[in-house]
Amino acid sequence: MFRKHLTALTVSAAALGAVTVPAIAQEFEGVTVNILTRPGYVIAGPLAERGVDFEALTGAKIVVTEVPFAEIFPKIQNDWATGTNSIDVGVFAAGWGVELDAAGLLEDLDPYVAADDKIQLDDIAPYFREFGQKVGGKTKLLMVDGDFQMVYYRTDVLSAAGLEPPKTWEDYLDVASKIHGTDMNGDGEADYGSCIFKKRNAQSYFAIQTFAAPIVQTQGTAQGFHFDNATMKPIVNNAGWKKAFELYKATGEFGPPEELNMDIGDTRALFKAGRCGLLVEWGDPGTLQLDDDASAVKGKIFAIAGVGSREVLDRETGELVPVSAESAPYAVDGINYSPFAAFGGWAGAINAKADQKTKDAAYAFLSYMNQPAQSGIDVTIGATGYNPYRISQLSSTEPWVKAGMPAELAENYLGAINSALANPNMSSDMKIPGAQQYTAVVLDTELARYLAGEISVEEALENIEEGWEEITEDFGRDEQIAAQALALGE
């Protein structure tokens, strides 16, 4: 009898053990996944922290290597194309994946996704699921972040000045000029009307596209605002982009004196210290204002999904025309909006040449990061740099309020992102081979030289047009036309 009881007890204990220990426990014992991404805690930090949890669950060791922003893409491309293969996973802009995929360097994740019952793919917002994660119709990346550039304003500063949030870029300049020089944080010092990161070789080239998109793109997302999609001739040397460049430069009059040498970290430090009335940013300020070092602005920085334009580009003539039902069918109250999905969000891709066990572990980790249980928490923490990209994260303010966000701010923040995602004229970031060269090199360099007064706006736009044409020729015009059609979902 006793033996029977003992046997039953042993079997029960074993069964209980099998239930309580996760099925995948130590599945990847001895496997190391090397990840390369940007420097600092933002983006990289949560990968490393979640990596520790993931190692405890599966045995796979997650090693995160950080390199300067401008070196992420070339380092990954170099490593994978030359067969060095020291990197298993790259976490970079969703739009950059297409060039790596064209060279056959990305692992097709569709089979992994099909066998994954935890990823809840349908919960990912359609734009990020179809544009961010897929290349040529196949899932090649998994998002860890969703990105839009938006305009933020200080509610207290604007209401004290009796001003409304800007609706157009002209309004933006007007508001910035009226609040510039006022003390916005009570320290007795004059603060800034506008803060935009304008340093070269950083992220300034995204902000200029945020300015240009509502002036140049009018006929819906598929139209794009960089090229004539039929010929891949740049549509940059025209009155639309010229106006965007001039408006962008004009914001500098109401910005910090060192703005030309400021990257995103510098402007974030400024707005957290309560020194900026308006700013152009990704989704981060929504949550960053909840940090302990941002007590001066907590609950005071509200978002606007898009700032638009009352004039738009007529592509036939290259000149600006007033917004009308024909020139801008998606315009609202005479203003054309085109929220820019700058960068597209940080996403992870797996090296196709990594060994199978490593690829399995790499996918399992990216899926772990992407799953609602983890990502739903990460996006509510400002320091992670992760912005919402799942429907469950965008549909309810509850988790945000639970994370410390005032209810009114949560409504505004999620409302702005949802409104941008729902806009049929939302503009996409470049997603063709050479996207990095087109924007991060040619556009960024010429923009920086124009801002510094080295060249005129006409020269800058001519140089960009010529530089983009050279890149298109190098990659092959027909190939680029096909890639552009695929990217914009034509």
Residue 201 lies near other proteins (rule: CB under 8 A)? yes
**Which one of the spans 166-174, 277-285, 330-338, 453-461 is the region binding other proteins (CB under 8 A)?**
453-461
Sketch the per residue contact string, 337 through 376, with other proteins: x for CB under 8 A, - otherwise. ---------------x------------------------
Residue for token digits 């740049």? 234
Residue 78 lies near other proteins (rule: CB under 8 A)? yes
CB of 203 to other proteins, least distance (A): 12
Please say whether the dihedral angle defined by the alpha carbons of residues 121, 90, 50 and 363, taken in this order, is positive or negative. positive
Integer Cα distance of 301 and 276 in angstroms: 10
Residue 261 lies near other proteins (rule: CB under 8 A)? yes
Among 27, 49, 71, 156, binds other proteins (CB under 8 A): 71
C-beta closer to other proteins: residue 50 or 198: 198
C-beta closer to other proteins: residue 250 or 441: 441
C-beta closer to other proteins: residue 164 or 355: 355
Starting at the edge strand found earlier in the chain, the sheet holding 61-66 runs 61-66, 32-37, 89-93, 346-350, 141-143
CA distances for 220 relative to 117, 250, 304, 318, 341, angstroms: 35, 28, 20, 19, 13
C-beta closer to other proteins: residue 63 or 352: 352
Residue 81 lies near other proteins (rule: CB under 8 A)? yes
Crossing angle between the packed helical segments 457-475 and 239-250, to the nearest 10 degrees: 120
Integer Cα distance of 340 and 158 in angstroms: 24
Integer Cα distance of 112 and 370 in angstroms: 14
**Which one of the spans 6-14, 101-109, 128-136, 356-364 is the region binding other proteins (CB under 8 A)?**
101-109
Q: Which residues contact 115 (CB under 8 A, 6 or more apart)?
A: none
CB of 448 to other proteins, least distance (A): 5
Among 53, 164, 183, 258, binds other proteins (CB under 8 A): 258
Residue 121 lies near other proteins (rule: CB under 8 A)? no
CB of 459 to other proteins, least distance (A): 7
| Beta-sheet strands, E only, within 77-180 | 89-93, 134-135, 138-139, 141-143, 150-154
Residue 199 lies near other proteins (rule: CB under 8 A)? yes
Residue for token digits 């157009």? 168
CB of 440 to other proteins, least distance (A): 7
Residue 449 lies near other proteins (rule: CB under 8 A)? yes
Residue 203 lies near other proteins (rule: CB under 8 A)? no
Residue 183 lies near other proteins (rule: CB under 8 A)? no
Integer Cα distance of 413 and 44 in angstroms: 24
Residue 136 lies near other proteins (rule: CB under 8 A)? no
Interacting positions 372-431 with other proteins (CB under 8 A): none
**Which one of the spans 54-62, 69-77, 298-306, 327-335 is the region binding other proteins (CB under 8 A)?**
69-77
CA dihedral 233, 236, 239, 245 (to 10 degrees): 180
Residue 453 lies near other proteins (rule: CB under 8 A)? yes
Among 83, 137, 162, 188, binds other proteins (CB under 8 A): 83
C-beta closer to other proteins: residue 68 or 424: 68
CB of 370 to other proteins, least distance (A): 26
Which burial class, exposed, middle or buried, applies to 309 when counting CB atoms under 10 A from its CB (0-12, 13-18, 19+)? buried
Residue 448 lies near other proteins (rule: CB under 8 A)? yes
**Which one of the spans 147-155, 225-233, 240-248, 252-260 is the region binding other proteins (CB under 8 A)?**
252-260
C-beta closer to other proteins: residue 78 or 231: 78
Crossing angle between the packed helical segments 457-475 and 444-451, to the nearest 10 degrees: 170
Tokens standing for residue 355: 């060994």
CB of 80 to other proteins, least distance (A): 8
Residue 178 lies near other proteins (rule: CB under 8 A)? no
Residue 188 lies near other proteins (rule: CB under 8 A)? no
CA atoms within 13 A on the CB side of 437: 16
Which burial class, exposed, middle or buried, applies to 378 when counting CB atoms under 10 A from its CB (0-12, 13-18, 19+)? buried
Binding residue count for other proteins, defined by CB under 8 A:
42
Cβ–Cβ < 8 Å for 239, 316: no
Integer Cα distance of 422 and 395 in angstroms: 13
Integer Cα distance of 329 and 432 in angstroms: 27
Please say whether the dihedral angle defined by the alpha carbons of residues 432, 228, 418 and 154, taken in this order, is positive or negative. positive
C-beta closer to other proteins: residue 62 or 105: 105
CB of 488 to other proteins, least distance (A): 23
Integer Cα distance of 325 and 332 in angstroms: 10
CA distances for 311 relative to 169, 240, 335, 385, angstroms: 11, 9, 8, 34
Residue 239 lies near other proteins (rule: CB under 8 A)? no
Residue 70 lies near other proteins (rule: CB under 8 A)? yes
Question: Contact residues for other proteins (CB under 8 A)?
Answer: 70-71, 73-74, 77-78, 81-83, 103-105, 199-202, 257-261, 352, 436-437, 440-442, 445, 448-455, 459, 463, 466-467, 470, 474
